[in-house]
Amino acid sequence: MLRLDIDERRPPRNGSCECRHSFRPRHLVECWLRLGRKPTEVSEMLRLFIFSCFSFAVIAGAAHASADVLVDVEIHEDMPNDAPWTFARGPTTKYAQAAFAWNALPKKYLRGGIIGDRSNPFTLRATARINFPTGEYDLLLRSKDLARLLVDGEVVIEQPKRLSKNADGHEVTPNLLPAVRPNHRPPPPGHQEFTLKHPLGGTHEIVLEAVVGGKGLRADLGDLCVAVAGPNEELFRILSPDRLESFPLTDEAWAAWSGRANAHVHQLDTEHRRKAASADDEYWQKRHQQARHHYEDQPHVVVPAVESQDQLANPIDRFVAVRLEEKSLRAAPLGSDMEFLRRVTLDTVGVVPTLSEIERFTTDPPSDRREQLIDRLLGDPRWADHWVSYWQDVFAENPNILKASLNNTGPFRWWIYESFFDNKPMDRFATDLILMQGSKYSGGPAGFGMATQNDVPEANKALILSKAFLAANLYCARCHDSPTNDYTQKQLFSMAAMLRREALALPQTSTVELEGVGREPLIQVSLKPGMQILPHWPLDELGSDELLAGVLRNASDPREWLAAIVTAPSNERFANVTVNRIWHRYAGRGLVDPIDDWHDATPSHPELLNYLSRELVTHDYDIKHIARLILTSQTYQRQVLAEDTDQRHLGERWFASATRRRMSAEQVFDSLFSVAGKKVHAERLTMDPEGRRPINSFLNLGIPRRAWQFSSLSNERDRPALSLPVAQSANDLLKAYGWREARQDAVSVRDETITPLQPLVLAHGTIGRRLVGLSDDHAVTELCLHDVSLDELVDTLFLSFFTRRPSDYERKVTTEFLDSGYQDRVVAGAVAIKDAHAWQRHPVSWSNHLHPKSSEIMLRIENRAREADLPTARLQQDWRERMEDILWALVNNPEFMFIP
Amino acid sequence: MPANRRDFMKYVGGTAIGSQLLEPAGASARESNAPALQGTADNCIFIWLGGGACQLDTWDPKVRGDAKTKQPGSYYDSIPTAVQDVQVCEHLHRTAQLLDRCAILRTVHHDVIDEHAAAVNRLHTGRPTSGTTIYPSLGSITSHQLGPGEQSIPPYVVMGYPNLTRGPGFLGPEASFLYLTDTTAGPSGLMLPPDVNAFRQRRREGLLTKLQSNFLSKSEGDQKIDAYAKALEAGLKMTRSKFMSVFDLDKEPAARREAYGGEFGQRCLLARRLTGVGVRFVEVAFNLNFLNGTGWDTHNEGQLQQHLMIDELDRAFANLILDLEREKRLDRTLLVIATEFGRPAEFDGRGGRSHQCRAFSIVLAGGGLKSGQAIGQTDELSKQILERPISVPDMHATIYAAMRINPNEELYDGDRPVPITDHGEPVGELFG
């Protein structure tokens, strides 16, 4: 039987459905229709469902209609410039989808599953056989660039105009194009639309061909679609061989479809990437086999015996117990089930548990529920989202959407995400990064290799890699020998030369003049400018290059050497540092601190560190294995104690009790939006939505959905025409909680100093307002419109926000405040506001941003953005305002911010 | 034990006594070091002409050129000023009469030629980016060294877009800024939303107090939670404090508001009010690009309506000087007009100009400096510096000296000492 969420009429928050078909949006649609919901309601519910899935990966098997009702899509590369429609070579990418509509294309993957670049331009060709009842039809073709539509081999519509480059930004701001008919989705700026009346009847072969990109242009697809309106039909529908997939060309339907389409592309990417990666699978299997055998000849790490052994099945707990006994410290009790649920959900997937997740957990049998939860969470695709921000900081991922300059990198965040989505083994992950291959600007690890305006980018990367994987801090050695540890500039530059794959000359700009300083210098400079430094592994105490020749795929590549030296099981540092990082992430303090600089540090539990390292090495460098070990331990699950005593502080150091942690900026942001059930509606992160600038100076980072997808907005020029107001408001909130907008340097632990201005950003800033304002798309608005008791409503709120039920006092305060007017809260006959985000539509792009009208338009939009979202008309105003006040108190309650 | 000054600040900051002890970082240096070159400024208003304002068309005019015939030179006529032998663009006529309160530095230069972001960064942080040390901005350093003029007042405010170049770098979040992009809307985060009046806000805060009490009492003794709750309380208190009335420009007489002019003028007016209640450093961006499309980055057609921008600047700046004099605090307020580079005498294909970083002008006023002079000499087309070059670090050192911050001070990025400027020397002619 269909099992929906708490209330049968609301869509499931995470798509749980125990029907045989397993959940698919199309299936959900059918179920809801069968339950008697109207089609317009269904599209609304589908939208809510899609949005509350949040990470666009969740929907497996999305939109796969059966084989003979699909559109076949081919991507062809390297077409001759003057003959874009010659398809002799054959496609480099082939896939199928449900309809003639695109807002994104699957990526190209190189060997190893690394994101690569297609030729620029490339051509798309989509084919389907579609049956039409006889009649006169209106056909519509919308595209950004050269495109044409063929019916039975004959060109019927052509978009002949080639997109032109624009460098100077001085074009006249165009007007927004009107929609082809009332209530239709208008073409976005930079797009063209052509319609044609054409008779059809019976089965026809429909082909769409479109050119994407070109010289000096970024290969952005934009909106591409073919739509059709039958005789006497008001609405154009997107063309599809499957009638059910043919949705109306309206904003609402396009938005609903976008979620499905993104999920489908995500699934295609996963398939293509894993296929491309499989070419190297054998090599890595061999490496891991060697790793498993590595410790065979060595003495095992003995898990100690302790008195209370029977209750301490997890080896971690025994190692910790030994120390606690030594120091006469008593372990704190375990946190409650709900505290555990909240903590582990935040720690694994980066958001607070949803209502249905809470229900699932509490209805699981008590003896198993924690383990089952851990298993579910470790299999959850949002695991990947939660790791991206961590590595963005550690690797200093620092893309710039406008003319990379200030020590910028490419947007290799996408590679990080995919690595964790695939649960890539850590040695393979580190190797990918060190090899720096693939696409620079579209998200491959080659983006890591960039450091714009840096005189020796490789030296910077060597610094970052040393800190990230070896906890060796060579920062000072960037310009001179380090005064605080033993690393010399020559060592850093030897590693840099390995990354460059050739000898490096030390530039003048990377050294320090010691003449005439006027005091005894604190530093030594042993290298002279112009000196050649050869590629050479410099850190013998941390790893050796012996015995590795058999392990290398390409022994003549210094980067392969570097990767192999760092990750070889014989060099224990990498495994030690990795497990320590994972430990620190969940425990709030490392077994070794600081986690990225072990120069002066001693491990608190050296045997435990060894044990976990060996577990990593002998289990294919799988960090989920380590995570499982840690999360299932009592050590991880202990309470945080509050008393301000020496005993407590000492105890925390030895893990007698858990260390207090505050949510990261990303967790705050993503959790609040999850609870509110809203989309951020941020702008597409680009200064050139038209796609008329080259990718090496103008990136397009897409529409951000989770916090890690946001980026610096690069408005050093202070130009209103370049502002992205909604994204800016999101950045403001993220920054207030420690997110770094630009990451010029590598950081492993963020500065979370709190000043009075920071919580104010949430309390009064634009995003804060949107999170508590009861707009039509707010989950709490939906909740309030339902026929539930006030008690139940209050319960649901506290569960959503704090993963617990309210105390008696809290219930009293809240229900007393909301009681008056509760029975009459719903305004009969009121409807949801349509097109609530139409104001965000504008024609400003780089090509016209220096025209005065563009500044005027964006200033108006900035003003409108400050007004947040319109409140729903469906709730009585006075009661709604009181409900919003309650929400404000819940959102700004410090309890939300701290991990229990 | 605290290992360095920063640790010490965090250490004492956490105790009640400590917060009384909390002095701004450079205070002792201010008193004891007392170098000879010192101004009298307590606050700074840093006017930022984003885009690269052309010095030939403003503060360092030369022979009249002609864009149509591609004759290089100034785009406007020049006029005499209150300073002998010094002329400025005709559109700066109000400021021209007050130029004796100003000093023009005509020979500022750097080597970041082509890219706005890099040049903006150089002007704000005084250094190239390194990838190892994230240098703080002028505003962050100033507010970090001096602290706010009053307790609970944010020391650093930006009226423009938040970006990295204005940020605190290694000085951390405490040296960051509050920002606004519209004077009527005020700073995001500080102003109540329009649909929440004082009554409703009190109601909300009352609910918050009740609903957080359970959590706060359970976590009593937890320093992290305590610090957060205190910060939240202090922030909310600030939004209720008298400080907020500083943003209410309607309190100014209508005539004065009109005198200052459009949005940029209102920003200057607000800056005057902010520095009047103790905000140390206010950066005021002039980015009303709808006037001419390009703002100060006058390539191509942007040149055509540039005079509208210059007129707005002139009107606001002149009124600011007069207002500060009227309030008898021009000596205590340093005014700076800065830009990321200048522009060459030649005109481009559509009548505008490209970039020039090897010689451009920065203007200073107030702050107890020896005003009424133009320092440094450029050649007949303002292309080359003939005498007295002033580097960006020199400009920063001058600003610090004017504000009685030791220009030889060392900041700390962890263990690493970082001189407050990159070998900059204050311009001696402005002091003593």
Would you state the pLDDT for residue A482? 73
CB A554 within 8 Å of CB A527: no
Q: How far is Cα A843 from Cα A858, in angstroms, rounded to an integer?
A: 10
CB B419 within 8 Å of CB B383: no
The dihedral through the CA atoms of A326, A327, A328, A331 has a sign that is negative
Length of chain A: 900
Instruction: Count CA atoms closer than 13 A to A247's CA, side-chain side.
Output: 25
CB A733 within 8 Å of CB A767: yes
Would you state the pLDDT for residue B396? 98
Would you state the pLDDT for residue A570? 87
Residue A61 or residue B303, greater confidence:
B303
Would you state the pLDDT for residue A38? 57
Would you state the pLDDT for residue A555? 87
Structure tokens at A695: 């990718």
In this structure, are strands A898-899 and A661-662 parallel, antiparallel, or unpaired?
antiparallel
Q: What is the DSSP string of B29-83?
A: HHHHH--S-----SEEEEEEETT---STTTTS--SB-BTTTTB-SBSS-EEE-SS
Q: Do A769 and B301 touch (CB under 8 A)?
A: no
Q: Is the pLDDT of residue A674 over 90?
A: yes
Average pLDDT over residues A40-64: 46
Q: How far is Cα A80 from Cα A89, in angstroms, rounded to an integer?
A: 11
What is the band of A190 on the pLDDT scale with cuts at 50, 70, 90?
confident
Helix axes A369-378, A355-363, angle to 10 degrees: 140
Would you state the pLDDT for residue A349? 98
Q: How big is the CA angle at B111 (ends B67 and B282), to the nearest 5 degrees?
A: 85
Structure tokens at A632: 């299932």
Phi, psi of A116 (to 5 degrees): -120, 180
CB B351 within 8 Å of CB B292: no
Q: How far is Cα A524 from Cα A521, in angstroms, rounded to an integer?
A: 7
Interface subset of B 303-332, CB within 8 angstroms of A? 305
**pLDDT tens column, B377-431:** 999 999 999 999 999 999 999 999 999 999 999 999 988 899 999 999 999 999 9
Would you state the pLDDT for residue A301? 87
Would you state the pLDDT for residue A519? 64
What is the band of A402 on the pLDDT scale with cuts at 50, 70, 90?
very high
Q: Is the pLDDT of residue A680 over 50?
A: yes
Structure tokens at A423: 């649960």
Give contacts of A714 with chain B, Cβ < 8 Å.
117, 163
What is the band of A3 on the pLDDT scale with cuts at 50, 70, 90?
very low
Q: Is the pLDDT of residue A53 over 70?
A: no
Rounded to the nearest angstrom, the minimum Cα separation between A432 and chain B is 22
**pLDDT tens column, B157-215:** 999 999 999 999 999 999 999 999 999 988 988 899 888 999 999 999 999 999 999 99
Best residue of A718, A850, A860 to probe chain B, by most B CBs closer than 10 Å: A718
CB A84 within 8 Å of CB A146: yes
Q: How far is Cα B111 from Cα A345, in angstroms, rounded to an integer?
A: 51
Residue A91 or residue A51, greater confidence:
A91
Q: Is the pLDDT of residue A10 over 60?
A: no
Q: How far is Cα A297 from Cα A699, in angstroms, rounded to an integer?
A: 51
Query: H or E segment at A180?
Result: none
The beta-strand segments (E) located in B64-209 are: 78-80, 87-89, 102-109, 156-159, 178-180
Would you state the pLDDT for residue A58? 35
Q: Do A888 and B301 touch (CB under 8 A)?
A: no
- Using CB atoms, which residue from A451, A660, A714 is nearest to B224? A660
- Dmax over CA atoms of chain B, in Å, equals 78
- The set of residues, in sequence order, having a beta carbon less than 8 Å from that of B68 and lying 6+ positions away, is B351
Residue B400 or residue B6, greater confidence:
B400
Measured torsion, CA atoms of residues A846, A850, A852, A853, in degrees rounded to the nearest 10? -10
Average pLDDT over residues A52-77: 59
* Structural domains in chain A plus CATH codes: 4-54 (no CATH), 70-276 (2.60.120), 385-570 (no CATH), 665-899 (no CATH)
CB A144 within 8 Å of CB A224: yes
Best residue of B184, B204, B238 to probe chain A, by most A CBs closer than 10 Å: B204
Rounded to the nearest angstrom, the minimum Cα separation between A378 and chain B is 29
Would you state the pLDDT for residue A128? 97
Q: Do A760 and B131 touch (CB under 8 A)?
A: no
Q: How far is Cα B123 from Cα B166, in angstroms, rounded to an integer?
A: 10
Would you state the pLDDT for residue A18? 35
Structure tokens at A365: 């049998």
- Using CB atoms, which residue from B222, B228, B239 is nearest to A754? B228
- The set of residues, in sequence order, having a beta carbon less than 8 Å from that of A5 and lying 6+ positions away, is A11, A12, A13, A16, A355, A356, A359
**pLDDT tens column, A234-285:** 999 999 999 889 999 999 999 999 999 999 999 999 999 999 999 999 999 9
Q: How many CB pairs under 8 A join A and B?
A: 259
Q: Do B132 and A894 touch (CB under 8 A)?
A: no
Average pLDDT over residues A595-618: 95
The dihedral through the CA atoms of A248, A250, A252, A254 has a sign that is positive
Q: Do A855 and B301 touch (CB under 8 A)?
A: no
Would you state the pLDDT for residue A34? 55
Residue A158 or residue B152, greater confidence:
A158
Segment among A47-56, A731-740, B190-199 with least mean pLDDT: A47-56
Best residue of A168, A448, A717 to probe chain B, by most B CBs closer than 10 Å: A717
Would you state the pLDDT for residue A217? 93
CB B250 within 8 Å of CB B273: no
Q: Is the pLDDT of residue A39 over 60?
A: no
Which ipTM did the prediction report?
Answer: 0.89
**pLDDT tens column, A154-165:** 999 998 888 888
Residue in chain B closest to A509 (alpha carbons) equals B130
Would you state the pLDDT for residue B150? 84
Rounded alpha-carbon distances, angstroms, from residue A709 to A107, A388, A416, A700, B12: 17, 9, 12, 11, 38
Interface subset of B 238-297, CB within 8 angstroms of A? 238-239, 285, 287-295, 297
Rounded to the nearest angstrom, the minimum Cα separation between B116 and chain A is 7
Ramachandran category for residue B110: left, alpha or beta (phi over 0 → left; psi -120 to 50 → alpha):
beta
Would you state the pLDDT for residue A646? 87
Cβ of B152 under 8 Å from any chain A Cβ? yes
Rounded alpha-carbon distances, angstroms, from residue A681 to A174, A477, A711, A724, A760: 24, 44, 15, 11, 22
Residue A8 CA, chain-centre distance (Å), reads 31
Average pLDDT over residues A643-657: 91
Q: What is the mean pLDDT of chain A?
A: 89
- The set of residues, in sequence order, having a beta carbon less than 8 Å from that of A525 and lying 6+ positions away, is A480, A481, A489, A511, A512, A514
Q: Do B130 and A813 touch (CB under 8 A)?
A: no
Ramachandran category for residue A514: left, alpha or beta (phi over 0 → left; psi -120 to 50 → alpha):
alpha
pTM, two decimal places:
0.91
Ramachandran category for residue A293: left, alpha or beta (phi over 0 → left; psi -120 to 50 → alpha):
alpha
Q: Is the pLDDT of residue A426 over 80?
A: yes
- Dmax over CA atoms of chain A, in Å, equals 93
**pLDDT tens column, B25-83:** 544 444 444 557 899 999 999 999 999 999 999 999 999 999 999 999 999 999 999 99
Would you state the pLDDT for residue A308? 66
* Structural domains in chain B plus CATH codes: 5-430 (3.40.720)
**pLDDT tens column, B84-120:** 999 999 999 999 999 999 999 999 999 986 689 999 9
Q: Is the pLDDT of residue A424 over 50?
A: yes
Would you state the pLDDT for residue A64? 42
CB A626 within 8 Å of CB A615: yes
Q: Do B232 and A892 touch (CB under 8 A)?
A: yes
**pLDDT tens column, A335-369:** 999 999 999 999 999 999 999 999 999 999 999 99
Would you state the pLDDT for residue A327? 94
**pLDDT tens column, A528-550:** 888 888 888 988 887 777 767 67
Would you state the pLDDT for residue A40? 54
- H-type alpha helices, A482-557: 489-500
Would you state the pLDDT for residue B11? 38
Q: How far is Cα B104 from Cα B373, in angstroms, rounded to an integer?
A: 7
Q: How far is Cα B64 from Cα B57, in angstroms, rounded to an integer?
A: 10
Residue B340 CA, chain-centre distance (Å), reads 13
Length of chain B: 432
**pLDDT tens column, B251-285:** 999 999 999 999 999 999 999 999 999 999 999 99
CB A567 within 8 Å of CB A430: yes
CB A664 within 8 Å of CB A674: no
Q: Is the pLDDT of residue A14 over 90?
A: no
Would you state the pLDDT for residue A161? 80
In this structure, are strands B390-391 and A108-110 parallel, antiparallel, or unpaired?
unpaired
Cβ of B342 under 8 Å from any chain A Cβ? no
What is the band of A49 on the pLDDT scale with cuts at 50, 70, 90?
low
Q: Is the pLDDT of residue A63 over 70?
A: no
Average pLDDT over residues A509-515: 74
Ramachandran category for residue A835: left, alpha or beta (phi over 0 → left; psi -120 to 50 → alpha):
left
Q: Do A885 and B50 touch (CB under 8 A)?
A: no
Q: How far is Cα A841 from Cα B151, in angstroms, rounded to an integer?
A: 43
Query: In terms of Cα–Cα distance, which of B134, B137, B156 is closest to B414?
Result: B134
Neighbours of B126 (CB within 10 A): 26
Q: Do A754 and B229 touch (CB under 8 A)?
A: no
